[in-house]
Amino acid sequence: MSILIKPIITEKATSDSELFNRYAFVVDKKANKLEIKNAVEEVYGVTIESVKTMNYPMKRKSKYTKNGVVQAKVGGYKKAIVQLAEGDNIDFYSNI
Q: Residue 73: which domain range? A: 4-84
pTM reported for the whole predicted model: 0.84
Question: Are 35 and 79 in contact, with CB atoms under 8 Å apart?
Answer: no
- pLDDT tens for the chain, 96 residues: list them: 589 999 999 999 999 999 999 999 999 999 999 999 999 999 999 999 999 999 999 999 999 999 999 999 989 999 999 999 999 999 888 766
What does the alpha-carbon distance between residue 77 and residue 82 come to, in Å, rounded to a whole number? 16
For residue 92, tell me if it sits in a domain. Answer: no
For residue 34, tell me if it sits in a domain. Answer: yes
What does the alpha-carbon distance between residue 9 and residue 18 come to, in Å, rounded to a whole number? 12
What does the alpha-carbon distance between residue 32 and residue 11 come to, in Å, rounded to a whole number? 26
What is the tally of structural domains in the chain?
1
The CATH number of the domain where 24 resides is what? 3.30.70.330
What does the alpha-carbon distance between residue 10 and residue 86 come to, in Å, rounded to a whole number? 22
For residue 89, tell me if it sits in a domain. Answer: no
